[in-house]
Each structure stands twice: as C-alpha cells, then as structure tokens.
C-alpha cells in the first residue's frame, strides 16, 4: 500500500475485521510542514583528523544539548531537534556535557534546520587544505516501490589538494557509467537514484573521466534491500585513514494512521461522500458505515468531505497537525435531527500510561437520532450497571479507565429502561485503548457502533429502540 492509498470496509451486520496499520511504500502525499514538527538530525564523523580521531559533537546548547563521542567513521542515529538555528561544536577527545565549558572546540558554528525535514550532519575536511567543517546534508529519499531501492553517494574524502583533484566517478564494475554518479567532488552529494533489488550492485570509484584507470576503490558488491534508502559515504584517504565507502541506511519517518469513520446519516441509501486531502480528492464514493484508512507522512492536513455531483459540493472540513506514530480518526457525523454535517479529526489516546493494569475505553456519541437533552444516553454493562459516571449528549466523548477483561456494553436511555445500541463485545487488555463510535439516526441510516479494539475493528448497525 502506498501513502495515500486506501483500505476500505463497509459492513451492515456484526463483523470482525483485522485492522492493521502497516507502513506502506510509494510516493508521499501532498503535505505541508508546519513549525510544530521537529527536524531530525543524524551525524557522521568523516573528518580524517591527524592523530587520535576521536571527537565529541555537541548539538544545541543549554540543558537540551546533545553530547556524543565518535571515532572516525562513527555515526549517530536520528535525533529530534527543534527547527531553526542549531549550534554545532566539535571537540577533540571524549568529553561529557559537564566538561564542555572548560574545553576549546575545534569548530563552533551553526546550521539552520527546517521543520519536518531530515538531515545528516557530517564532520568533514581537516586534511589536504580542506578546513574542518560541519556539512549539513538534506536527506530526501522517497519511499521506493516494491522491488527497488534508492542509493546516493556523498563525497567526503579529502584525498587530494583542491576540489578538482578529488573528482571521482562511481561506475559499474564493467566500466559502464552510472548517470548521476559522475564527477563528484569533495563535499558534493548525488541525488537518490533508484536501483532494482534482487542482484548485487558492483561498483568501483575511479578518477573522474578515466573509467579505465586503476580504481581508487573497488569495494565488494552491494546487496540492496527491498525498499531501502542507502547512502554511501566516501571517506578517508588522508592522514593515514584509508579510503573507504561507508554505507548508512536512511530510515524513513514512521507514518500517521488516519482512519475515516463515515457516520453522517444525512441521506438514505449510500449517503456517499468524496474525501479530499489538502484539496486533492483521495477517495471517491465513501458510503455510510465505511471506514477507509489512509497512511500519511506526518504534517499539517486539511481533510474535506464533498457530495458527488457536477460540480461536487463541499459539506464539511477539518484541519489538524498529525504527528508520526499516532493514530487519528476523522469522524463525519450529523446531518439529521437538525444537526449539521461536521468533520472532526480526533487524536486517539496512546496505549499505556494508565494506573495499574487498567485499559481505557473511549466512547463518542455521534448518533444524531436527536439533539440536546433528548439525545442523552448512558453507558451500561450487560447487567445494566452504569460504566460511565453520567449521560452522554450527542457530540460528547468520554474516557473510561477500566480493569482488563471482556466487556459487553450498551448505550441506553437515561435510567437504563431501554437499550438503544448494543455494542459488540470486546477484550480490553492492560494498557490498551478501545474506541467506540455510536453512529446513525434510525431513519436515514441505522444506528450502531464502530469499535476499534487494538488491531481489530467491529461494526454493528442495529434497529433503534425506544425513541
């Protein structure tokens, strides 16, 4: 599944469906990167310093400074940092954060980071007339399709004096040129290029324009992994450091799961709507009761619903900053009993963080069979005992910590005299979150519930009783 691709379900009876949020591959969806998103910075020590190569890198300042010591060729995995200027200091040797104040840095500079972007910061130079520098490289890989990988080459090997003398070509072992990997000079990086997986990639480094010359470096064949984004750093070649290719995989950001619950009973029949993401239609003809799911890169999104037609008519929209490794529900509700059609994007609670071994049940009343006090319902178990502290009015949401176990809940009239919605039984495990959405109006569309329990979705549409 590619980002923006949809998995859609429509259920009119009690149903059990496995509901998994896999991180798909493919081109990224339309997105904006607001200031609220962090940047990510990885680090590589590629400066062949004379003598002991051990350096300490300090990223940032004050109490949030990140301090790490690395030898030549050492790396530091991605760190989340705030957008804007970032102070960068390199020190000789291994120092702790407390020792920085008394030490003199080899380099004290700053770089500027954009929100939501990924970078590699390299300690580079320090040989053959190239000064020590902090080189900031944007990491902009795509999401390779199945059967492909992406690769780029970054030239950080100051093996000769002057940029022109360091120019190299990366070519195939049979001396065929690889467009995009030619005439790379110290400090330069190629774009990410797509290569098929399944067979080794055998390359050599030669002086630029001299494919038949003795190779500067003839590394073992590379085995590319399906979907991988790989950077080959050419480093060394000075001060006794051998010239080498250092492979570093660029992990993509974890994605956002956005599930869309069409619970707006504004018409009989299918009550179909189209879904737009930042102005682009991404799903057509979503019928009442369907729960399509989008996998998105994190970002600031505007989601809108439109009625199909010529021209289509937008009926509701919502905007939300969505961050990675979170699950969101876009709930369409209303359109009956005088309630307008609304779209709200809800950030689902994270599992864990509850007292003891409790789990959390979250119930949203999105069934407009009435509005105001006439829409009030109570949450009870199968014995008729109250589970929530008070009644829920249409549009309200309640979070209920409960002990682990199997639950068979009902939404009833106030006082418990009649059952309006019988929620399918679900298992609540320690630390888990179960979300229940009550939908329908009993006239245009049947009332029922959509239940997200861990990785499982249950849906039930039942006759409305006791209006």
Residue 2 has pLDDT above 60, yes or no: no
Six-digit token string for 233? 């750093």
Model-level pTM? 0.72
CA distances from 207 to 171, 175, 218, 276, 281 (A): 10, 12, 12, 51, 50
CA distances from 12 to 235, 365, 447, 452, 463 (A): 61, 19, 11, 16, 11
pLDDT 10s digits, 81-109: 999 999 999 999 999 999 999 999 999 99
- Cβ atoms of 411 and 420 closer than 8 Å: yes
| Integer Cα distance of 230 and 220 in angstroms | 15
Given this model, what pLDDT does residue 356 score? 77
Question: In the structure, what pLDDT confidence band is assigned to residue 251 with cuts at 50, 70 and 90?
Answer: confident
In the block, residue with structure tokens 């590379």: 222
Read off φ and ψ for residue 137, nearest 5 degrees.
-115, 120
Residue 120 has pLDDT above 80, yes or no: yes
Residue 258 has pLDDT above 90, yes or no: yes
CA distances from 118 to 25, 133, 249, 284, 300 (A): 18, 19, 13, 33, 17
Given this model, what pLDDT does residue 368 score? 96
- Cβ atoms of 232 and 151 closer than 8 Å: yes
Given this model, what pLDDT does residue 454 score? 53
Considering only residues 24 and 423, tell me which one the structure prediction assigns the higher pLDDT.
423
For residue 247, the cross-strand partners are: 232
- Cβ atoms of 342 and 332 closer than 8 Å: yes
| Highest mean pLDDT pick, 11-25, 34-48, 123-137, 138-152 | 123-137
Question: In the structure, what pLDDT confidence band is assigned to residue 31 with cuts at 50, 70 and 90?
Answer: very low
Domain ranges of the chain: 6-24+255-462, 39-249
CA distances from 260 to 10, 34, 287, 303, 345 (A): 12, 23, 11, 10, 9
Given this model, what pLDDT does residue 298 score? 86
| Integer Cα distance of 263 and 447 in angstroms | 9
């Amino acid at each position: 599944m590619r980002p923006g691709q949809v998995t859609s379900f429509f259920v009119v009876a009690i149903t059990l469906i496995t509901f998994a949020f896999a991180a798909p591959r493919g081109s990224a969806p339309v997105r904006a990167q607001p200031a609220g998103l962090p940047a990510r910075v990885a680090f590589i020590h590629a400066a062949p310093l004379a003598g002991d190569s051990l350096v300490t890198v300090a990223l940032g300042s004050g109490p949030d400074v990140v301090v790490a010591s690395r030898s030549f060729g050492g790396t530091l995995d991605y760190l989340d940092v705030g957008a804007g200027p970032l102070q960068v200091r390199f020190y000789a040797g291994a120092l702790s954060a407390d020792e920085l104040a008394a030490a003199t840095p080899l380099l004290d500079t700053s770089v500027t980071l954009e929100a939501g972007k990924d970078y590699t910061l390299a300690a580079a130079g320090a040989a053959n007339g190239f000064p020590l520098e902090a080189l900031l490289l944007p990491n902009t890989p795509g999401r390779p399709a199945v059967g492909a990988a992406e690769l780029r080459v970054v030239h950080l090997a100051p093996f000769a004096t002057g940029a022109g003398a360091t120019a190299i070509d990366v070519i195939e072992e049979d001396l065929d040129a690889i467009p995009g990997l030619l005439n790379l000079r110290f400090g330069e990086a190629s774009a990410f290029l797509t290569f098929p997986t399944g067979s080794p990639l055998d390359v050599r480094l030669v002086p630029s324009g001299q494919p038949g010359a003795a190779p500067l470096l003839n590394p073992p064949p590379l085995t590319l992994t399906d979907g991988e984004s790989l950077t080959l750093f050419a480093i060394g070649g000075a001060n006794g450091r051998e010239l080498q290719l250092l492979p570093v995989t660029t992990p993509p950001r974890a994605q956002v799961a956005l599930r869309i619950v069409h619970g707006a009973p504004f018409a009989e029949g299918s009550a179909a709507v189209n879904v737009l993401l930042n102005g682009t239609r991404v799903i057509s003809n979503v019928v009442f009761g369907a729960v399509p799911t989008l996998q998105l890169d994190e970002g600031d999104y505007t989601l809108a619903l439109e009625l199909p037609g010529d021209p289509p008519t937008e009926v509701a929209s919502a905007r939300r900053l969505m961050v990675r490794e979170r699950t969101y529900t876009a709930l369409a509700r209303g359109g009956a009993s005088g309630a307008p059609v609304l779209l709200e994007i809800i950030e689902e609670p994270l599992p864990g963080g509850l007292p003891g071994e409790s789990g959390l049940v979250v119930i949203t009343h999105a069934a407009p069979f009435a509005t105001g006090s006439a829409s009030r319902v109570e949450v009870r178990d199968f014995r008729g005992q109250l589970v929530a502290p008070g009644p829920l009015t249409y549009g309200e949401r309640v979070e209920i910590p409960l002990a682990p176990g199997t639950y068979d809940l009902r939404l009833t009239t106030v006082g418990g005299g009649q059952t309006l919605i019988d929620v399918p039984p679900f298992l609540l495990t320690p630390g888990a979150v179960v979300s229940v959405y009550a939908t329908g109006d009993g006239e245009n569309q049947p009332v029922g519930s959509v239940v997200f329990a861990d990785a499982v979705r249950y849906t039930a549409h039942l006759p409305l009783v006791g209006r």
